[in-house]
Amino acid sequence: LYVDKGNYRHFMLKEIYEQPEVIGHTLGSFVDLTTGRTRLPRGASIDFSSIGRIALSACGTGYYAALVGRYYFERYARIACDLDVASEFRYRESPLDDVDLALFVSQSGETADTLASLRYAKETGLSTAAIVNVDESSIAREADHVLPTLAGPEIGVASTKAFTCQLMALAALAVRAGVDRGRIDARQELELTGVLQEAPRLVNEVLHLEEQIADLSRHMATKKHALFLGRGLSFPLALEGALKLKEISYIHAEGYAAGELKHGPIALIDDTMPVVVIAPHDRSFDKTASNVQEVAARGGEIILLTDRKGAAAGIVDDAHTIVLPDMPEILTPIVYSVPLQLLAYHTAVQMGTDVDQPRNLAKSVTVE
Ligand code: G6P
C-alpha cells in the first residue's frame, strides 16, 4: 500500500483535511442517504431491541471515542454502557452476565489488548461487534459483527480522521439503537440523521480556523504543561485533546471533567498554565462557564472553544476564544475534535518534533 502526502507537509495534516469526506462516507454506511433511515453496514445485523447493556472497550484514542459512544447510547437509546480500557477489561474479569453485547473500537484492528478482550468476550459466549477501520484485520475477522469506519489508511501515528469516523459510526449506531428500542420515532430519526449529514460541512467550516489556531499554537509551544476541560459530551474531548497534544508535542497535558477541576487540578492554576476549555453552548454550558471563571480568577490563561452563543455569553473578559458555528449537540464531539487536532499539530510543528512518527509511539501496538 502506498499512500502519498500530496501537497501536505505531514500525513497528520492531510488526514485532518480528509475528514469532511471520510466522515461523510462513514455515515453513508449507517444511514441510507436517500431516505434518511438508519441501517447497519452490509453483513452486520444487530437487533438492539433486545440489548439493554453494552460493554465497550478499546485503547488510546478509540477508548475516548467509546467514552463519547457511551453518552450517545445512554442518551439516544437508553442502553446502559460499561466502559473499560481493553487492558483492564480483559484482566479485570468482570462478570458479564448482564451484558448483551461487547463492542470494541479499533482503528488498526490489531491492538493486542483489544484483540485479547474480544477473544475473552467470545469465550464467555457474548455476542461481539467491532467498529474497525482496517477491513482485513484480526479484530474485523474475529468479531461477530463488523461495523467499518471508512477513514481510509491512517498513517500519522496520532489518530485524527479515524477518531472522527469512530464518533460518526457511534452516533449513527446509537440512533439506530434508539429506533430499534422504540426510543426514537420515525420523525426524530429523520431529524437526527439530517443533523449528522451536516457534519462534513461543519468540519469543513472549522478547518478554516486553521490560521487562527496556528497563531495560538506559537504561544502554546512555549508552555511546559496544559490542562483541557470539558463536561458531558465534551469531557472525552478534553481527554483526547490532551492526548493529541502530549503525543506529538511532548508537552505535558491532562484532560479533566470540568466539574473535577476543584478536586485537584485547580491547585495547578497560575498565570503560566494554559487551560483549553471545550464549551459548546449545550446543556452543560452554564456549569462549564462557572469553571472557566474559577480558572480566570486564579490567573489561568484560557483558550476557549465555543460557538457563537457561547462567545456572546461573555463569560470571561480575557480569553483566547475560538468561535465555532452553532450546532446540535450530537455533532459537537465530531466538530470540536478538529480545533484540538490543529492545536496539537501546529504546536508540534512549532516545536520541531517528528509529527507523524512521535518518539516511543507505534501506530499499532501488538504487544500487551
Ligand atoms: C496506539 C496508537 C493510537 C491508537 C491506539 C489504539 O497507541 O498510537 O493512535 O489510538 O494505539 O489503536 P487502535 O488501532 O486499536 O485504535
Q: pLDDT truncated to tens, each residue of the chain (368 aa)? A: 678 899 999 999 999 999 999 999 999 999 999 999 999 998 899 999 999 999 999 999 999 999 999 999 999 999 999 999 999 998 887 789 999 999 999 999 999 999 999 999 999 999 999 999 999 999 999 999 999 999 999 999 999 999 999 999 999 999 999 999 999 999 999 999 999 999 999 999 999 999 999 999 999 999 999 999 999 999 999 999 999 999 999 999 999 999 999 999 999 999 999 999 999 999 999 999 999 999 999 999 999 999 999 999 999 988 999 999 999 999 999 999 999 999 999 999 999 999 999 999 989 898 88
Beta-carbon count within 10 A of 10 CB: 20
What's the CA gap between 141 and 98, in Å, rounded? 25
Q: Return the residue whose CA atom lies nearest to atom 3 of ligand 1.
A: 60
Atom of ligand 1 nearest to the CA of 58: 15
| Ligand 1 in reach of 347 Cβ (< 6 A) | no
Smallest CA-to-CA distance from 1 within 153, 124, 113, 138 is with 153
- Work out whether strand 301-307 and strand 319-324 pair parallel, antiparallel, or are unpaired: parallel
What's the CA gap between 83 and 80, in Å, rounded? 10
Residue of 56, 159, 244, 355 to test ligand 1 pocket, by largest number of atoms within 8 Å of CB? 159
| Ligand 1 in reach of 137 Cβ (< 6 A) | no
Q: Quote the DSSP letter at residue 33.
A: T
| Ligand 1 in reach of 327 Cβ (< 6 A) | no
Chain length of the chain = 368
**CA 256–ligand 1 middle distance (angstroms):** 21
**CA 355–ligand 1 middle distance (angstroms):** 15
Task: Enter the C-alpha cell of residue 144.
Answer: 461477530
Burial class (CB in 10 A: 0-12, 13-18, 19+), 271: exposed
Q: What is the largest CA-CA distance in the chain?
A: 57
| Ligand 1 in reach of 117 Cβ (< 6 A) | no
Q: Single out the catalytic residue among 5, 122, 223, 363.
A: 363
**CA 163–ligand 1 middle distance (angstroms):** 10
Active site residue 14: no
Q: Return the residue whose CA atom lies nearest to atom 4 of ligand 1.
A: 60
CB 331 within 8 A of CB 23: no
Atom of ligand 1 nearest to the CA of 86: 15
Q: Tell me the backbone φ, ψ of residue 359, rounded to 5 degrees.
A: -60, 145
**CA 35–ligand 1 middle distance (angstroms):** 35
Q: Return the residue whose CA atom lies nearest to atom 2 of ligand 1.
A: 363
118: Cβ contacts below 8 Å, ≥ 6 apart: 102, 104, 128, 130, 139, 142, 143
Atom of ligand 1 nearest to the CA of 108: 14
| Ligand 1 in reach of 3 Cβ (< 6 A) | no
| Ligand 1 in reach of 60 Cβ (< 6 A) | yes
Where b means 16+ CB within 10 Å and e means fewer, 295-329 reads bbeeebbbbbbbbeebbeeebbeebbbbbbeebeb
CB 24 within 8 A of CB 367: no
Q: Return the residue whose CA atom lies nearest to atom 5 of ligand 1.
A: 60
**CA 202–ligand 1 middle distance (angstroms):** 26
**CA 137–ligand 1 middle distance (angstroms):** 14
CB 344 within 8 A of CB 171: no
Rg (CA), the chain: 20
Q: Return the residue whose CA atom lies nearest to atom 15 of ligand 1.
A: 106
Q: Quote the DSSP letter at residue 228.
A: E
pLDDT in tens, 198-256: 999 999 999 999 999 999 999 999 999 999 999 999 999 999 999 999 999 999 999 99
**CA 117–ligand 1 middle distance (angstroms):** 15
What's the CA gap between 132 and 109, in Å, rounded? 6
Element (H, E) at 279: none
Smallest CA-to-CA distance from 116 within 90, 146, 88 is with 90
DSSP, collapsed to helix, strand or coil, labels residue 272 as coil
- Indicate the pTM of the whole model: 0.97
